Amino acid sequence: MSGTRDSRSAALRLLLREIRPVTGTALIALAVLTVSVLATLAGPMLVQRFVDRATGGTTQSVLITIAVWYLVIAVTGGAARICSSYLAVHAGWRIADSLRMRLLHHVAVEAPVLEVENRPVGQVLEQVSGSADIVGQAIATSGFRMISNVLVGAGTVVAMSLVVPQAGLGILVLIVVVCFVLTRLSRRSRVRWEKARGQQAKLFGFVGDAIGARDDLLMLGRSRWAADRTRADLAALLHTEGRAYISGRIFWPVTQLCTAVFFAIGFGFGLRELQLGSITIGTLTMIYLYVNLLQGPLEDMSSQSGQMQQMFAVLAIAARTLPAETATGTPEPPAVSLPDGPLGIEFDHVTFGYGDTPVLRDVSFTVAPGRSLGIVGPTGAGKSTVINLLCGLGEPGQGRVRIGGVDVRRLPPLEFARRVTVLSQRAHVFSASVYENITLFDDSVSEDRVWQVLDRLNAADWVRDLPAGLRTRVGADARTLSEGESQVLVGARALLRPYSVLVVDEGTSRFDAETERSWTDLLELVMRDRTVVMVEHRMATLVGVDELMTMDGGRVVGAK
Amino acid sequence: MNTEQLGFGRFLRGAAVRVKGLYLSTMAVWSTIYGVPLIIGALIAAMLDHAAHPPVTAATWWLLGAAVALMVLRAVALWIGLQLTFVLIFRTSAWIKTEVLGRLLGRPTALGPARGSGEILNRLRDDSDEIGGLLEWTTDLIYRSVLLVIAVAVLATADLVMTIPLVLLAGGLVASVMLKKRVAATQAETRVRQGMISAEITDTLTGVRDLRLAGAMTGRLAGLYRRFAWRRTVQLRHQIYLDLLSDLFYNLVMVGTGVVLLTVSLSVARGDFSAGKLVLFLTYASWLGQQMYFFGKILARYQSGRVSYRRLAELAGDEPPRPASNDVRPLRELTVTDLTCAAPVGATAPRPVSFQVRPGELVVITGELGSGKSLVVRSLLGLQPGTTGSIRWNGAEVAGDRSRLGAPRVGYARQQAKFVHGSLLDNLTLGSDDVTPARVEAAMAAVRLCSGSEELPRGLDTWIDSGTAGQLSGGQRQRLSLARMLCRPADLYVVDDCDSSLDGPTARAIWATLPRQWPAAWIVVSRNEDLLAAADVVVNVTRATVDAGVLSL
């Protein structure tokens, strides 16, 4: 029980943090909202006056004046409503995007790379964008309207209490009871929504995988299976999501039931007062209109609170993912910087494993500054893990990995990027231009620099032949590159940066004979004065290295 | 435009017929929910007329009791109605999702929509929900129209003169028609931008390692944040038009009440004022306003639904995928003559390719970087558009016929194969009962992926977290893709570059045994020297450049 309370307060804290930047807009929206609420509440009072005057026998002009006043107030209220809704939408989507940025920043910058790589992209997207959209939608279409409904409800109770105190009191008591029941129901609904959303994310994770693998599935004759499995998963989701939906919308029938009781209370007391002659038929009409007025907001609130619950469910998940606010949090660790000049590399009795599966066992080696080391070994020997640890992507179970004498886990990412360059087989080609793929979206790099690098890679002609040269779009939604062509981009990416340490991760495996030769020449050139660690399958490209180390089964088995 | 509208209308009708029983019960329950307030209004009006002349009689209390009882009934109907509504929406949107997904998966990537996975996922998720919601709203459309007529008839019977000004409420529909157009336009634009941003986020997350290690993530995110703001402008406009549309009718209720009051004050001279009649008109006016509000919304929703329909239709394609053809005879001979591939825009196509392969033979397709080797095999298998030339299976032309050039006769392991979230075994069987444990074991042994070995300690239970199988090494992925293909018997195996990430001994071991253990015809794209030496036929793919010296790669 305290767990849900914690998650709710965490969600609330997160929401308040997101609202802070748009406080001004939110306050103005609230002020305008109040105007529209007052206009709504004034309506029944004018009708009461109208009925009393009409039954009491008065001049037509008095009635017309009241009717005209009613119209004026109606129009003012309507204008205020639209105005406040504009401001609410504005604030809502600002908040949503700010949350989206925070979630994306967390995944892209803070979460461990290996963890992000191992999750289906569809699932991550669902959690980042899907969540933010729910929050935006809830605030823009429900949040402010819900406040307005609460105000209308409170105003109605006050107005009723003024004419028939017993009825006002009765309704107030009932509202308090109902609110208590609804909060209990809402807690249950939130838990159910969290569960449903988890299941949804899983389902879309699979769908995303199937879409990515559709050529594989098609040729294996298993496309139907993927669609059928999705159908089965959806059928299972129907139950979970249905329970969540109903527990979120149960408010509507409950409030409808309340309205019935409101009517009974309002008219029961009203009719008695009327019999006693202490109120008029006009006042009774007013009571009717007020009870009616209560019904609309209560009905709206059912769907709105459903949306709000979904929002809180999403926020609770987000709050769990996101670290607490850093502004007042732990002090930044002192900036560590690397010494100038070539850097040495040291693996000091490193052990590493996933769960209880050991991958590296007591691996030790050093590379002196400016020297180069080639690592060879059969597939699965643990070479990629050495690279991961060298890049600070994993925490060794035991031992230390140091670059330039500094523990890589303590190196700030920017300092790492400034001094270390990784050339990886796993490199991704972004859906962007060739230029952006090489500079990695850094506009400050001149085209001349890029051409120079391409020249050195013997790839300038290939790029020149592309329809828009450097500005040709490549990647998933444009021109797909062969693996060899992708490697050229990756090579250029690496060569563009100044660095002291070069890490090559099976980087040249797909070059043809000629390119492989020029690549070897190039490596020889750039390896000068730099520290290099190369992981390779083939000995050919390892000719230029100073030392060679053989790995097998997570151990160093030989060195020369 | 008009035919498309017809198409969407027909589609909705078909979707409703599919769940006829559910659809009709939903309609019946919601008719009760929205019809009951009309009766309640009439009861209250009668009660007020009774109460206007004290003393308060038993009839007055009975009327109040009846009204309250009806309200309780309405609450019960609501509870049932909500369940029905949910199931109707969910079933419909789930049906659309699986239909579209089935058709999308039935086409090769190159012949399908040119959209990133993120964008496709977005459409599958949001657009099918949109249409499911719309279908549910159409139930309302029918019964609300009926109730509308009844309400107006009741009012006209009570007082025709006072009813006529309420026609003003319908005037709001004109404004709504203008607003709904804006709603549709801004929604389409929002979705486009949403899709683009989803694709960019997906792309960024896929390349998270490169961006992070290069210290380029902050710059990339800054670009994305600017895109968020760019989307927000149109999102804001969209929501405002939507709100204007919904508020239009809410405001009409207020104005309607004002008009009723004015009409009453003008006719008060007739001397027939009664609080009951006033309340009847006020109740019905606000009910009518609510209905107008609804009609406006469904008009807007219809527009959104059509946009969604169009977007999903693009994913689904024109024709349903053809099931695998059963009348393909076992392969005796495959003859490829002058197979010409259409190059992607701006690239040069490889020169036409011709070769012949029989069971037990090995064709190796080789060539320089970027010469189009993959394109050749993809075109051969009918996975690329614009392919010409002849492909004969035992002499019969099968070029471009994916129903014949695929499972169960042909097996294919492609370059950069993708997988699904699940265990390694799940990825081999892909839900198929035909893949026996013995077959799995044989396939795993053939690609030298041994269960319980150092590199694969958890064997077939190894968990694959995502489609890219990031926790496996490049070589493991390549072999897994090979094994997945070998789990299914075929007459012809086509392998695109499944040894480039393997170390020499492993590759040699695999190729030394594979074709012999799996007696089929083999077409393999490779630059492996051993394999080239073992080939019966070597096909060298070259680009059809005029000046062969230009490309020095």
Q: What is the pLDDT of residues A174-208, one digit of tens each?
A: 888 887 887 788 778 878 988 998 899 889 989 98
Q: Is-contact A269 A166, C-beta < 8 A? A: yes
Tell me how close the Cα of A283 comes to any Cα of chain B, in angstroms. 11
Closest Cα of chain B to A83: distance in Å? 10
Task: Tell me if A418 and B215 make a contact (CB, 8 A cut-off).
Answer: yes
CA distance A16 to chain B (A): 21
Find residues 402-441 of chain B whose CB sits inside 8 Å of chain A.
402, 406-408, 410-412, 414-421, 430-432
Long-range contacts of the stretch A438-443 (C-beta < 8 A, 24+): A438/A489, A438/A492, A438/A493, A438/A496, A439/A493, A439/A496, A440/A493, A440/B210, A440/B211, A440/B214, A440/B216, A440/B219, A440/B220, A441/B216, A441/B219, A441/B220, A441/B223, A442/B216, A442/B219
Minimal Cα–Cα distance from B503 to chain A, Å? 5
pLDDT band at A513 (very low <50, low <70, confident <90, very high): low
pLDDT, tens only, A299-344: 677 667 777 878 888 888 888 877 765 444 444 556 677 887 778 8
* Beta-carbon separation of A225 and B431 below 8 A: yes
Q: Does the distance separating the beta carbons of A472 and B346 come in below 8 Å? A: yes
pLDDT surpassing 90 at residue A278: no
Establish if B167 touches chain A: CB-CB under 8 angstroms: no
Residue B44: its chain A contacts at CB < 8 A? 288
What is residue B550's predicted lDDT score, i.e. its pLDDT? 32
Does B216 contact A at CB distance below 8 Å? Answer: yes
Q: Do A421 and B214 touch (CB under 8 A)?
A: yes
Confidence of residue A477 (pLDDT cuts 50, 70, 90): low
> Cβ contacts of residue A461 below 8 Å, gap of 6+?
B550, B551, B552, B553
Task: Test A216 with B258 for CB contact under 8 angstroms.
Answer: no
Instruction: Show which of residues 253-272 on chain B sit within 8 Å of chain A, judged by CB atoms.
Output: 254-255, 257-259, 261-262, 264-266, 268-269
Of A454-468, B82-96, B121-135, B329-343, minimum mean pLDDT range: A454-468
Of A60, A107, A512, the CB nearest to B368: A512
For residue B415, the distance in angstroms to the closest alpha carbon of chain A comes to 9
pLDDT of residue B303: 75
Region of poorest pLDDT, from A513-522, A545-554, B19-28, B315-324: A513-522
**Backbone angles phi and psi of B132, in degrees to 5:** -60, -45
How much is the pLDDT for B251? 75
Report the share of chain B in percent with pLDDT over 90: 21
Question: Once rounded to an integer, what is the mean pLDDT over residues B329-345?
Answer: 85
Q: CB distance B105–A223 less than 8 Å?
A: yes
Name the least confident of A101-105, A400-404, B545-549.
B545-549
- Calculate how close chain A gets to B261, using CA atoms only, in Å: 5
Question: Mean pLDDT, to the nearest integer, of B151-156?
Answer: 89
> Using one digit for the tens of pLDDT, what is the confidence trace for A534-551?
887 665 566 677 888 888
Per-residue model confidence (pLDDT) at position B531: 85
Instruction: Please tell me the distance in Å from A2's CA to the nearest CA on chain B.
Output: 30
Q: Are B425 and B460 in contact (CB under 8 A)?
A: yes
CA B174, CA B479: separation in Å to the nearest integer? 65
Contact A212 B468 (CB under 8 A): yes
- Of the spans A182-186, B85-89, B428-432, which averages the highest pLDDT? B85-89
Which region, left, alpha or beta, applies to residue B300 given φ > 0 means left and ψ of -120 to 50 means alpha? alpha
- How many CA atoms lie less than 13 Å away from A213 in the CB half-sphere? 34
Q: What angle do CA B177, B183, B185 make, to 5 degrees?
A: 110
Beta strands B492-496; B521-525: pairing state: parallel
Residue B467 in contact with partner chain A when CB distance is under 8 A: yes
What's the rounded mean pLDDT across residues B479-495? 90
Q: For B169-183, what is each residue's pLDDT tens digit? A: 777 777 777 887 888
Q: What is the mean pLDDT of residues A123-141?
A: 85
Which residues, 6+ apart, have CB-to-CB distance to A176 below 8 Å?
A: none
Q: Searching chain B, which residue's CA lies closest to the CA of residue A384?
A: B473
Beta bridge partners of B525: B365, B496
Sole residue written with tokens 């009905």: A299
As a whole-number percent, the residues of chain A with pLDDT over 70 amount to: 89
Which member of A113, A430, A465 has the closest CB to residue B212?
A113
Name residues whose C-beta falls within 8 Å of residue B10's C-beta, 6 or more positions apart in sequence. Answer: none
Q: Most confidently modeled of A502-511, A533-542, B496-505?
A: B496-505
Q: What is the pLDDT of residue B254?
A: 78
Contacts of the segment B310-313: beta carbons below 8 A, 24+ positions apart: B310/B4, B311/B123, B311/B127, B311/B191, B312/B96, B312/B100, B312/B123, B312/B124, B312/B127, B312/B128, B312/B131
pLDDT number for residue A426: 67
Give mean pLDDT, residues B117-141: 88
Mean pLDDT of chain B: 84
| Bond preceding residue A331 cis, omega within 30 of 0 | no
CA-to-CA distance for B103 and B124, rounded, in angstroms?
A: 12
Per-residue pLDDT at B509: 84
Question: Looking at CA atoms only, how far is residue B2 from chain A in angstroms?
Answer: 31
Is residue B146 helix, strand or coil?
helix
Which among A284, A376, A413 is the nearest to B215, CB-wise? A413
Residues of B in contact with A108 (CB under 8 A): 204-205, 208, 211-212, 217, 220-221
Task: Report the range of poorest mean pLDDT among A77-86, B146-155, B431-440, B541-550.
Answer: B541-550
Residues 6+ apart with CB under 8 A from B324: A221, B403, B406, B407, B408
Question: Worst-scoring range by mean pLDDT, A127-141, A397-411, A504-518, B70-84?
Answer: A504-518
**Residues of A with Cβ-Cβ distance to B498 under 8 angstroms:** none
Chain B residue with CA closest to A463: the answer is B551
Q: Taking residues B359-377, what's their average pLDDT? A: 86
- Integer distance in angstroms from the first to the last C-alpha of chain B? 49
Predicted pLDDT of residue B140 = 85
Q: Are B150 and B38 in contact (CB under 8 A)?
A: yes
Q: Does position B391 have pLDDT exceeding 80, yes or no?
A: yes
pLDDT of residue B86 exceeding 60: yes
Average pLDDT over residues A386-401: 87
Which range, of B2-11, B193-202, B498-507, averages the lowest pLDDT? B2-11
Tell me: pLDDT of A429 over 90: no
Least CB–CB distance from A274: residue in B51, B206, B402: B51
Q: Read off the pLDDT band of B325 (50, 70, 90).
A: low
Pairing of strands A501-505, A420-424: parallel
pLDDT score at A518: 60
Smallest Cβ–Cβ distance between B71 and the set A55, A206, A259 belongs to: A259
CA distance B359 to A408: 55
pLDDT of amino acid A279: 85
The distance in angstroms from the start CA to the end CA of chain A is 62
Which residues of A fall within a CB distance of 8 Å from B287? Answer: none
Read off the pLDDT of residues A1-23 as tens digits, 9 standing for 90 and up: 445 667 778 888 888 888 888 88
pLDDT greater at residue B2 or residue A164: A164
- Interface touch B240/A47, C-beta < 8 Å: no
User: What does the alpha-carbon distance between residue A356 and residue A365 come to, in Å, rounded to a whole number?
Assistant: 24
- Out of B90, B255, B420, name the one closest to residue A238 (CB): B90
Across B367-383, average pLDDT: 85
- Mean pLDDT over residues B330-353, rounded? 83
Minimal CA separation from B551 to chain A, in Å: 6
Predicted local confidence at residue A299, as pLDDT: 65
Residues of B in contact with A86 (CB under 8 A): 240, 243
B117 vs A55, A212, A442: nearest CB: A212
What pLDDT, on a 0 to 100 scale, did the predictor assign at position A306?
Answer: 72
| Residue range B520-538, pLDDT digits in tens | 899 999 888 888 888 889 9
* Residue that is written with structure tokens 């002499």 in the block: B395
Contact check, Cβ <8 Å, B419/A213: yes
Asked if the Cβ–Cβ distance from B210 to A417 is below 8 Å, we say no
Q: What is the pLDDT of residue A324?
A: 61
Which residue in the block uniquely carries the two structure tokens 């992708």? A486
Q: Do B275 and A51 touch (CB under 8 A)?
A: yes
The number of C-beta contacts closer than 8 angstroms across A and B is 520
Q: B374 to chain A: which residues are within 8 Å by CB?
A: 482
Q: Percent of chain B at pLDDT above 70?
A: 92
* B408 preceded by a cis bond (ω within 30 of 0): yes
Spell out which residues of chain A touch residue B162, defining contact as CB-CB under 8 Å: none
3-state secondary structure of B288: helix
CA nearest neighbour of B505 among A371, A552, A436, A197: A552
